[in-house]
Protein backbone atom coordinates (compact mmCIF):
# COMPACT_ATOMS: atom_id res chain seq x y z
CA UNK A 1 0.00 0.00 0.00
CA UNK A 2 1.26 3.47 -0.81
CA UNK A 3 2.75 5.55 1.96
CA UNK A 4 0.12 8.21 2.58
CA UNK A 5 1.12 11.85 2.68
CA UNK A 6 -0.21 12.99 6.05
CA UNK A 7 0.88 16.60 5.67
CA UNK A 8 -0.35 17.98 8.99
CA UNK A 9 -0.47 21.58 7.87
CA UNK A 10 -3.10 23.83 6.45
CA UNK A 11 -3.53 23.68 2.68
CA UNK A 12 -2.30 27.23 2.21
CA UNK A 13 0.97 26.29 3.95
CA UNK A 14 1.55 22.84 2.46
CA UNK A 15 4.15 24.32 0.13
CA UNK A 16 6.19 25.51 3.11
CA UNK A 17 7.19 21.97 4.00
CA UNK A 18 8.11 21.24 0.40
CA UNK A 19 10.30 24.32 0.09
CA UNK A 20 11.87 24.07 3.50
CA UNK A 21 13.21 20.62 2.63
CA UNK A 22 14.85 21.87 -0.57
CA UNK A 23 14.32 21.36 -4.26
CA UNK A 24 16.09 20.88 -7.51
CA UNK A 25 16.23 21.72 -11.16
CA UNK A 26 15.89 19.79 -14.35
CA UNK A 27 16.20 20.88 -17.93
CA UNK A 28 17.63 20.06 -21.32
CA UNK A 29 21.22 18.85 -21.59
CA UNK A 30 23.49 21.80 -20.68
CA UNK A 31 25.04 23.65 -23.59
CA UNK A 32 27.70 25.36 -21.46
CA UNK A 33 31.17 23.83 -21.36
CA UNK A 34 31.36 23.71 -17.56
CA UNK A 35 29.54 24.78 -14.43
CA UNK A 36 30.61 28.35 -13.67
CA UNK A 37 31.98 29.48 -10.30
CA UNK A 38 29.79 31.62 -8.07
CA UNK A 39 29.99 35.37 -8.67
CA UNK A 40 32.56 37.09 -6.51
CA UNK A 41 31.31 39.38 -3.74
CA UNK A 42 32.83 41.24 -0.79
CA UNK A 43 32.55 39.53 2.57
CA UNK A 44 29.19 40.39 4.18
CA UNK A 45 29.43 43.16 6.76
CA UNK A 46 27.74 43.30 10.16
CA UNK A 47 23.96 43.50 9.78
CA UNK A 48 23.87 42.11 6.24
CA UNK A 49 21.32 39.34 5.62
CA UNK A 50 22.32 35.72 5.21
CA UNK A 51 22.39 34.13 1.76
CA UNK A 52 18.97 33.11 0.40
CA UNK A 53 18.00 29.49 1.00
CA UNK A 54 15.87 27.10 -1.07
CA UNK A 55 17.02 28.69 -4.31
CA UNK A 56 15.76 26.98 -7.46
CA UNK A 57 15.17 27.60 -11.17
CA UNK A 58 12.18 26.05 -12.92
CA UNK A 59 10.94 26.12 -16.49
CA UNK A 60 8.15 28.54 -17.35
CA UNK A 61 6.42 25.85 -19.38
CA UNK A 62 3.84 28.22 -20.91
CA UNK A 63 6.31 30.98 -21.81
CA UNK A 64 8.79 30.60 -24.67
CA UNK A 65 12.30 31.44 -23.46
CA UNK A 66 11.26 31.90 -19.83
CA UNK A 67 12.52 30.57 -16.50
CA UNK A 68 10.91 30.87 -13.06
CA UNK A 69 13.37 31.66 -10.26
CA UNK A 70 12.43 31.44 -6.58
CA UNK A 71 14.06 31.59 -3.15
CA UNK A 72 13.20 32.06 0.51
CA UNK A 73 12.51 35.57 1.69
CA UNK A 74 15.36 36.31 4.11
CA UNK A 75 14.97 38.17 7.44
CA UNK A 76 16.31 41.70 7.23
CA UNK A 77 16.56 41.75 3.44
CA UNK A 78 15.09 44.77 1.66
CA UNK A 79 16.10 43.80 -1.86
CA UNK A 80 17.85 41.07 -3.83
CA UNK A 81 20.38 40.80 -6.64
CA UNK A 82 19.84 37.97 -9.11
CA UNK A 83 22.58 37.12 -11.60
CA UNK A 84 22.58 34.69 -14.51
CA UNK A 85 25.32 33.15 -16.62
CA UNK A 86 24.83 31.87 -20.16
CA UNK A 87 28.39 31.22 -21.36
CA UNK A 88 32.04 31.76 -20.42
CA UNK A 89 32.11 34.72 -22.81
CA UNK A 90 29.18 36.46 -21.15
CA UNK A 91 30.02 35.63 -17.56
CA UNK A 92 27.55 36.52 -14.84
CA UNK A 93 25.28 39.51 -15.40
CA UNK A 94 22.62 41.13 -13.26
CA UNK A 95 19.01 40.29 -14.15
CA UNK A 96 17.74 43.85 -14.01
CA UNK A 97 14.05 43.06 -13.73
CA UNK A 98 14.74 40.82 -10.74
CA UNK A 99 17.30 42.91 -8.89
CA UNK A 100 17.77 46.12 -6.93
CA UNK A 101 15.65 48.36 -4.76
CA UNK A 102 13.51 49.62 -7.63
CA UNK A 103 12.54 46.18 -8.94
CA UNK A 104 8.88 45.22 -8.88
CA UNK A 105 9.47 42.01 -10.80
CA UNK A 106 10.39 39.86 -7.85
CA UNK A 107 7.33 39.58 -5.73
CA UNK A 108 6.30 38.13 -2.42
CA UNK A 109 4.98 34.67 -3.15
CA UNK A 110 3.01 32.31 -0.89
CA UNK A 111 4.87 30.36 1.79
CA UNK A 112 7.55 32.93 2.43
CA UNK A 113 9.09 32.91 -1.03
CA UNK A 114 10.32 35.49 -3.48
CA UNK A 115 9.81 34.70 -7.14
CA UNK A 116 10.83 36.26 -10.42
CA UNK A 117 10.55 35.41 -14.11
CA UNK A 118 13.55 35.79 -16.41
CA UNK A 119 12.34 36.17 -20.00
CA UNK A 120 13.71 36.49 -23.52
CA UNK A 121 16.20 33.65 -23.09
CA UNK A 122 17.51 31.29 -25.77
CA UNK A 123 15.47 28.11 -25.91
CA UNK A 124 17.56 25.02 -25.15
CA UNK A 125 20.50 26.90 -23.63
CA UNK A 126 21.27 26.29 -19.98
CA UNK A 127 21.37 29.34 -17.71
CA UNK A 128 22.98 29.32 -14.29
CA UNK A 129 21.73 31.58 -11.52
CA UNK A 130 22.73 32.83 -8.08
CA UNK A 131 21.01 35.34 -5.79
CA UNK A 132 22.09 37.46 -2.83
CA UNK A 133 20.04 39.23 -0.18
CA UNK A 134 20.80 42.87 0.62
CA UNK A 135 19.94 45.76 2.90
CA UNK A 136 21.51 49.09 3.92
CA UNK A 137 24.30 47.23 5.73
CA UNK A 138 25.40 45.34 2.64
CA UNK A 139 24.75 42.11 0.79
CA UNK A 140 25.04 38.46 1.71
CA UNK A 141 27.14 35.87 0.02
CA UNK A 142 25.51 34.35 -3.03
CA UNK A 143 23.20 31.36 -2.78
CA UNK A 144 24.01 28.02 -4.29
CA UNK A 145 24.00 27.85 -8.09
CA UNK A 146 20.81 26.62 -9.79
CA UNK A 147 20.19 26.11 -13.48
CA UNK A 148 17.67 25.17 -16.12
CA UNK A 149 16.97 25.56 -19.84
CA UNK A 150 13.89 27.32 -21.29
CA UNK A 151 11.52 25.66 -23.76
CA UNK A 152 9.14 26.67 -26.54
CA UNK A 153 5.39 27.07 -25.99
CA UNK A 154 2.72 28.14 -28.47
CA UNK A 155 0.65 29.84 -25.74
CA UNK A 156 -0.04 33.49 -26.51
CA UNK A 157 0.09 36.41 -24.08
CA UNK A 158 -3.69 36.31 -23.69
CA UNK A 159 -3.59 32.57 -23.01
CA UNK A 160 -0.71 32.92 -20.55
CA UNK A 161 -1.11 36.45 -19.14
CA UNK A 162 1.72 38.05 -17.20
CA UNK A 163 0.40 38.57 -13.67
CA UNK A 164 3.73 39.51 -12.08
CA UNK A 165 2.63 42.96 -10.97
CA UNK A 166 -1.01 42.10 -10.21
CA UNK A 167 -1.73 42.66 -6.52
CA UNK A 168 -4.27 40.59 -4.63
CA UNK A 169 -6.33 41.55 -1.60
CA UNK A 170 -5.85 39.79 1.71
CA UNK A 171 -7.93 36.66 2.35
CA UNK A 172 -11.03 36.56 4.53
CA UNK A 173 -10.97 33.99 7.34
CA UNK A 174 -14.19 32.84 8.99
CA UNK A 175 -14.65 30.32 11.80
CA UNK A 176 -16.58 27.28 10.55
CA UNK A 177 -19.01 27.33 13.48
CA UNK A 178 -19.83 30.96 12.69
CA UNK A 179 -20.63 30.02 9.10
CA UNK A 180 -23.00 27.28 10.27
CA UNK A 181 -23.54 26.36 13.95
CA UNK A 182 -24.65 22.88 12.82
CA UNK A 183 -21.12 22.02 11.65
CA UNK A 184 -19.66 19.21 13.79
CA UNK A 185 -16.51 18.31 11.84
CA UNK A 186 -13.75 20.72 12.89
CA UNK A 187 -16.11 23.53 13.94
CA UNK A 188 -13.16 25.57 15.23
CA UNK A 189 -11.22 25.43 11.97
CA UNK A 190 -11.28 28.43 9.67
CA UNK A 191 -12.55 28.67 6.10
CA UNK A 192 -11.33 31.29 3.66
CA UNK A 193 -12.42 33.58 0.85
CA UNK A 194 -10.50 35.69 -1.63
CA UNK A 195 -11.58 38.35 -4.11
CA UNK A 196 -10.73 38.69 -7.79
CA UNK A 197 -7.74 41.05 -7.94
CA UNK A 198 -8.51 44.76 -8.40
CA UNK A 199 -7.96 46.08 -11.91
CA UNK A 200 -8.39 42.68 -13.55
CA UNK A 201 -11.41 41.80 -15.71
CA UNK A 202 -13.78 39.79 -13.53
CA UNK A 203 -14.74 36.35 -14.77
CA UNK A 204 -17.75 35.92 -12.44
CA UNK A 205 -16.68 32.36 -11.74
CA UNK A 206 -15.87 30.88 -8.35
CA UNK A 207 -12.91 28.62 -7.59
CA UNK A 208 -13.68 26.33 -4.65
CA UNK A 209 -10.49 24.98 -3.09
CA UNK A 210 -10.69 21.67 -1.22
CA UNK A 211 -7.90 20.56 1.15
CA UNK A 212 -6.39 17.09 1.23
CA UNK A 213 -6.49 14.39 3.86
CA UNK A 214 -5.80 15.60 7.38
CA UNK A 215 -5.45 19.26 6.39
CA UNK A 216 -7.72 22.29 6.68
CA UNK A 217 -8.13 25.55 4.84
CA UNK A 218 -5.26 27.85 5.66
CA UNK A 219 -5.48 30.85 3.39
CA UNK A 220 -5.72 31.00 -0.38
CA UNK A 221 -2.41 29.36 -1.38
CA UNK A 222 -0.42 29.59 -4.64
CA UNK A 223 -3.15 28.14 -6.86
CA UNK A 224 -5.84 30.34 -5.33
CA UNK A 225 -3.70 33.46 -5.66
CA UNK A 226 -3.11 32.65 -9.32
CA UNK A 227 -6.88 32.37 -9.76
CA UNK A 228 -7.45 35.73 -8.04
CA UNK A 229 -4.89 37.39 -10.34
CA UNK A 230 -6.81 36.02 -13.32
CA UNK A 231 -10.13 37.50 -12.13
CA UNK A 232 -11.70 34.60 -10.22
CA UNK A 233 -13.30 34.74 -6.78
CA UNK A 234 -12.05 31.99 -4.46
CA UNK A 235 -13.24 30.17 -1.35
CA UNK A 236 -11.81 27.26 0.61
CA UNK A 237 -14.11 25.02 2.64
CA UNK A 238 -13.44 22.06 4.90
CA UNK A 239 -15.25 18.71 4.81
CA UNK A 240 -14.87 15.31 6.59
CA UNK A 241 -11.34 14.41 5.47
CA UNK A 242 -9.69 12.98 8.58
CA UNK A 243 -8.79 9.72 6.79
CA UNK A 244 -7.75 9.01 3.21
CA UNK A 245 -10.35 7.32 1.05
CA UNK A 246 -7.88 4.73 -0.26
CA UNK A 247 -7.31 3.74 3.39
CA UNK A 248 -11.02 3.59 4.20
CA UNK A 249 -11.83 1.70 0.98
CA UNK A 250 -8.82 -0.62 0.86
CA UNK A 251 -9.66 -3.61 -1.38
CA UNK A 252 -13.19 -2.37 -2.27
CA UNK A 253 -13.50 -0.19 -5.42
CA UNK A 254 -17.27 0.15 -4.84
CA UNK A 255 -16.61 1.88 -1.52
CA UNK A 256 -15.20 5.11 -3.00
CA UNK A 257 -18.47 6.28 -4.53
CA UNK A 258 -20.48 5.55 -1.38
CA UNK A 259 -18.03 7.35 0.89
CA UNK A 260 -17.82 10.32 -1.51
CA UNK A 261 -21.62 10.53 -1.71
CA UNK A 262 -21.88 10.83 2.07
CA UNK A 263 -19.18 13.49 2.06
CA UNK A 264 -20.92 15.36 -0.77
CA UNK A 265 -24.46 15.56 0.60
CA UNK A 266 -24.89 13.11 3.52
CA UNK A 267 -26.95 10.65 1.48
CA UNK A 268 -26.43 7.07 0.33
CA UNK A 269 -25.32 3.94 2.22
CA UNK A 270 -22.58 5.73 4.18
CA UNK A 271 -24.98 8.30 5.60
CA UNK A 272 -26.17 5.59 8.00
CA UNK A 273 -24.16 3.55 10.52
CA UNK A 274 -22.77 0.24 9.25
CA UNK A 275 -23.63 0.95 5.64
CA UNK A 276 -22.66 -1.49 2.90
CA UNK A 277 -19.43 -0.80 0.99
CA UNK A 278 -18.42 1.95 3.42
CA UNK A 279 -15.03 0.48 4.25
CA UNK A 280 -13.38 0.97 7.63
CA UNK A 281 -12.73 4.45 8.99
CA UNK A 282 -9.41 4.22 10.86
CA UNK A 283 -10.46 7.05 13.16
CA UNK A 284 -13.33 4.94 14.54
CA UNK A 285 -12.66 1.35 13.49
CA UNK A 286 -16.19 1.30 12.04
CA UNK A 287 -17.60 1.76 8.51
CA UNK A 288 -17.34 5.38 7.42
CA UNK A 289 -20.45 7.44 8.11
CA UNK A 290 -21.44 11.06 7.65
CA UNK A 291 -25.07 11.75 8.50
CA UNK A 292 -24.74 15.50 9.03
CA UNK A 293 -25.59 17.57 5.93
CA UNK A 294 -23.92 20.63 7.48
CA UNK A 295 -20.57 18.81 7.31
CA UNK A 296 -21.08 17.66 3.73
CA UNK A 297 -19.45 19.51 0.87
CA UNK A 298 -22.64 20.80 -0.78
CA UNK A 299 -23.85 22.59 2.34
CA UNK A 300 -20.33 23.69 3.26
CA UNK A 301 -20.10 25.57 -0.04
CA UNK A 302 -23.66 26.93 0.15
CA UNK A 303 -23.44 28.03 3.78
CA UNK A 304 -20.08 29.74 3.20
CA UNK A 305 -21.45 31.68 0.24
CA UNK A 306 -24.62 32.64 2.12
CA UNK A 307 -22.58 33.77 5.13
CA UNK A 308 -20.31 35.95 3.00
CA UNK A 309 -23.25 37.40 1.09
CA UNK A 310 -25.27 38.24 4.22
CA UNK A 311 -22.50 39.51 6.48
CA UNK A 312 -20.98 42.42 4.63
CA UNK A 313 -18.47 40.61 2.43
CA UNK A 314 -20.04 41.63 -0.89
CA UNK A 315 -17.16 44.00 -1.63
CA UNK A 316 -14.57 44.79 -4.30
CA UNK A 317 -17.05 44.01 -7.06
CA UNK A 318 -17.84 40.54 -5.73
CA UNK A 319 -21.40 39.41 -5.02
CA UNK A 320 -21.07 36.00 -3.41
CA UNK A 321 -24.77 35.40 -3.91
CA UNK A 322 -24.40 34.92 -7.68
CA UNK A 323 -22.76 31.56 -6.97
CA UNK A 324 -25.93 30.30 -5.28
CA UNK A 325 -29.17 29.06 -6.83
CA UNK A 326 -31.53 29.47 -3.94
CA UNK A 327 -29.99 27.51 -1.08
CA UNK A 328 -27.67 25.32 -3.18
CA UNK A 329 -24.47 26.03 -5.13
CA UNK A 330 -24.83 27.31 -8.68
CA UNK A 331 -22.56 24.52 -9.94
CA UNK A 332 -22.20 25.84 -13.49
CA UNK A 333 -20.42 28.93 -12.09
CA UNK A 334 -18.05 26.87 -9.93
CA UNK A 335 -14.59 25.45 -10.61
CA UNK A 336 -13.73 22.72 -8.12
CA UNK A 337 -10.02 22.61 -7.33
CA UNK A 338 -8.72 20.02 -4.91
CA UNK A 339 -5.47 18.62 -3.61
CA UNK A 340 -5.26 14.86 -2.99
CA UNK A 341 -8.59 13.82 -1.39
CA UNK A 342 -9.87 17.30 -2.18
CA UNK A 343 -9.44 16.42 -5.85
CA UNK A 344 -11.25 13.14 -5.26
CA UNK A 345 -14.20 15.08 -3.89
CA UNK A 346 -14.06 17.57 -6.76
CA UNK A 347 -14.08 14.75 -9.28
CA UNK A 348 -16.98 12.92 -7.64
CA UNK A 349 -18.94 16.16 -7.32
CA UNK A 350 -18.46 16.76 -11.06
CA UNK A 351 -19.91 13.32 -11.76
CA UNK A 352 -23.04 14.35 -9.88
CA UNK A 353 -23.28 18.05 -10.84
CA UNK A 354 -22.48 20.02 -14.01
CA UNK A 355 -19.56 22.17 -12.82
CA UNK A 356 -17.55 24.68 -14.86
CA UNK A 357 -14.27 22.79 -14.39
CA UNK A 358 -12.50 20.27 -12.18
CA UNK A 359 -8.82 20.86 -11.40
CA UNK A 360 -7.01 17.99 -9.69
CA UNK A 361 -3.69 18.55 -7.92
CA UNK A 362 -2.14 15.18 -6.96
CA UNK A 363 -5.58 13.70 -7.50
CA UNK A 364 -7.75 11.73 -7.57
CA UNK A 365 -6.00 8.75 -5.90
CA UNK A 366 -9.21 6.70 -5.91
CA UNK A 367 -7.91 3.21 -6.63
CA UNK A 368 -7.04 0.15 -4.59
CA UNK A 369 -5.23 -3.16 -5.21
CA UNK A 370 -7.62 -6.06 -5.89
CA UNK A 371 -6.03 -9.48 -6.38
CA UNK A 372 -2.74 -7.79 -7.17
CA UNK A 373 -4.25 -5.46 -9.79
CA UNK A 374 -4.62 -1.72 -9.16
CA UNK A 375 -8.34 -1.09 -9.63
CA UNK A 376 -10.05 2.30 -9.92
CA UNK A 377 -13.23 3.30 -8.11
CA UNK A 378 -16.26 1.75 -9.80
CA UNK A 379 -18.16 5.04 -9.96
CA UNK A 380 -15.82 6.16 -12.79
CA UNK A 381 -17.83 3.91 -15.11
CA UNK A 382 -21.11 5.74 -14.35
CA UNK A 383 -22.39 8.73 -16.39
CA UNK A 384 -20.78 12.12 -15.73
CA UNK A 385 -22.77 15.33 -15.29
CA UNK A 386 -19.66 17.30 -16.37
CA UNK A 387 -18.00 16.91 -19.76
CA UNK A 388 -14.65 15.10 -19.62
CA UNK A 389 -12.98 18.02 -21.43
CA UNK A 390 -13.65 20.12 -18.32
CA UNK A 391 -11.34 17.92 -16.22
CA UNK A 392 -7.70 18.94 -15.65
CA UNK A 393 -4.92 17.43 -13.59
CA UNK A 394 -1.31 17.81 -12.45
CA UNK A 395 0.65 15.14 -10.56
CA UNK A 396 4.29 14.54 -9.68
CA UNK A 397 6.06 11.54 -11.20
CA UNK A 398 7.87 11.12 -7.86
CA UNK A 399 4.61 10.78 -5.94
CA UNK A 400 4.10 7.19 -4.67
CA UNK A 401 0.55 7.35 -5.97
CA UNK A 402 2.11 7.82 -9.42
CA UNK A 403 4.91 5.27 -9.13
CA UNK A 404 2.61 2.58 -7.71
CA UNK A 405 -0.02 2.97 -10.44
CA UNK A 406 -2.90 4.64 -8.61
CA UNK A 407 -3.15 7.57 -11.01
CA UNK A 408 -2.69 5.38 -14.10
CA UNK A 409 -5.63 3.18 -13.05
CA UNK A 410 -7.81 6.23 -12.40
CA UNK A 411 -6.84 7.89 -15.70
CA UNK A 412 -7.83 4.79 -17.65
CA UNK A 413 -11.19 4.48 -15.89
CA UNK A 414 -11.91 8.22 -16.03
CA UNK A 415 -11.04 8.42 -19.73
CA UNK A 416 -7.94 10.58 -19.29
CA UNK A 417 -6.35 8.82 -22.26
CA UNK A 418 -4.86 9.52 -25.67
CA UNK A 419 -8.09 8.36 -27.27
CA UNK A 420 -9.86 11.28 -25.57
CA UNK A 421 -7.06 13.77 -26.34
CA UNK A 422 -5.84 13.59 -22.75
CA UNK A 423 -2.60 11.64 -23.04
CA UNK A 424 -0.17 12.34 -20.22
CA UNK A 425 2.01 15.38 -20.99
CA UNK A 426 5.32 14.92 -19.17
CA UNK A 427 6.65 18.32 -18.09
CA UNK A 428 10.15 18.92 -16.69
CA UNK A 429 11.31 15.56 -18.00
CA UNK A 430 14.83 14.79 -19.24
CA UNK A 431 13.81 16.29 -22.58
CA UNK A 432 11.45 19.04 -21.42
CA UNK A 433 8.51 20.35 -23.45
CA UNK A 434 6.35 23.46 -23.24
CA UNK A 435 2.60 23.74 -22.93
CA UNK A 436 0.48 23.50 -26.06
CA UNK A 437 -2.44 25.92 -26.04
CA UNK A 438 -3.37 25.91 -29.73
CA UNK A 439 -3.66 22.36 -30.95
CA UNK A 440 -7.15 21.21 -31.95
CA UNK A 441 -7.66 19.60 -28.53
CA UNK A 442 -4.72 20.07 -26.15
CA UNK A 443 -4.32 17.52 -23.37
CA UNK A 444 -5.47 18.45 -19.89
CA UNK A 445 -3.45 15.70 -18.20
CA UNK A 446 -0.05 16.80 -16.86
CA UNK A 447 2.73 15.25 -14.85
CA UNK A 448 5.86 17.00 -13.65
CA UNK A 449 9.28 15.51 -12.97
CA UNK A 450 10.64 18.63 -11.25
CA UNK A 451 12.87 17.13 -8.53
CA UNK A 452 11.60 17.38 -4.98
CA UNK A 453 12.25 15.39 -1.82
CA UNK A 454 10.29 12.14 -2.11
CA UNK A 455 8.67 12.78 1.28
CA UNK A 456 6.97 15.85 -0.16
CA UNK A 457 6.33 14.77 -3.75
CA UNK A 458 2.59 14.58 -3.11
CA UNK A 459 2.59 18.33 -2.36
CA UNK A 460 4.73 19.35 -5.37
CA UNK A 461 1.76 20.26 -7.64
CA UNK A 462 0.80 22.95 -5.09
CA UNK A 463 4.07 24.83 -5.65
CA UNK A 464 4.17 28.36 -7.05
CA UNK A 465 6.63 27.37 -9.80
CA UNK A 466 3.74 25.48 -11.44
CA UNK A 467 2.06 28.84 -12.08
CA UNK A 468 1.98 28.43 -15.88
CA UNK A 469 0.18 25.10 -15.51
CA UNK A 470 -2.24 26.71 -13.05
CA UNK A 471 -3.05 29.40 -15.61
CA UNK A 472 -3.59 26.84 -18.37
CA UNK A 473 -5.94 24.77 -16.22
CA UNK A 474 -7.94 27.84 -15.20
CA UNK A 475 -8.40 29.66 -18.54
CA UNK A 476 -7.41 27.35 -21.42
- pLDDT for res 16: 35
What distance in Å separates the CA atoms of residue 115 and residue 370, rounded to the nearest whole number? 44
- pLDDT for res 107: 66
Q: CATH 2.60.40.10 in the chain, residues? A: 29-148
Q: Which residues does residue 115 pair with via DSSP β-bridges, in sequence order?
A: 70, 107
Q: What is the pLDDT of residues 362-393, one digit of tens each?
A: 999 999 999 999 999 999 999 999 999 999 99
Closest CA to 421 of 431, 411, 434, 410: 411
- pLDDT for res 455: 62
- pLDDT for res 102: 66
CATH superfamily of 29-148: Immunoglobulins (2.60.40.10)
Look at the domain 172-475 and name its fold. Answer: Rossmann fold (3.40.50)
- pLDDT for res 109: 63
| pLDDT tens, the chain, 476 aa long | 444 333 333 334 343 334 333 344 544 444 444 788 888 888 888 999 999 999 999 999 999 999 999 999 999 999 999 999 988 778 899 998 889 876 655 666 666 888 899 999 999 999 999 999 999 999 999 999 999 999 999 999 999 999 988 999 989 999 999 999 999 999 999 999 999 999 999 999 999 999 999 999 999 999 999 999 999 999 999 999 999 999 999 999 999 999 999 999 999 999 999 999 999 999 999 999 999 999 999 999 999 999 999 999 999 999 999 999 999 999 999 999 999 999 999 999 999 999 999 999 999 999 999 999 999 999 999 999 999 999 999 999 999 999 999 999 999 999 999 999 999 999 999 899 999 999 888 999 999 998 776 568 999 999 999 999 999 999 99
pTM of this prediction exceeds 0.75: yes
Q: CATH 3.40.50.1820 in the chain, residues? A: 172-475
Q: Is 192 helix (H, G, I), strand (E, B) or coil?
A: strand
- pLDDT for res 112: 81
- pLDDT for res 103: 63
Under a CB-based contact definition with an 8 Å cutoff, are residues 361 and 396 in contact?
no
Amino acid sequence: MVSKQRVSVMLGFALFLLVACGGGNRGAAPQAAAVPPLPSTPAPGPGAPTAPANFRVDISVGTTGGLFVSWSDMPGATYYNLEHWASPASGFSLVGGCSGTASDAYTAAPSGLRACRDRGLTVGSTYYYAVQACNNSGCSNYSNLASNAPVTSDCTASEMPDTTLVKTLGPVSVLSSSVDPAIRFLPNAYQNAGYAAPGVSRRNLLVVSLPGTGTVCGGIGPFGQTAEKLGFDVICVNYPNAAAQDTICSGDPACFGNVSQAKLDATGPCSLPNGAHCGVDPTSGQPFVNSNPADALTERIASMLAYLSHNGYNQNGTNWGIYLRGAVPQWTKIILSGWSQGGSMGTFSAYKNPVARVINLSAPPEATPVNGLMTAATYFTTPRATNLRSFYGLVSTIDPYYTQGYFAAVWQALGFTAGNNDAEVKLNATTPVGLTCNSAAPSHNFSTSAPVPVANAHAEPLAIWNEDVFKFMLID
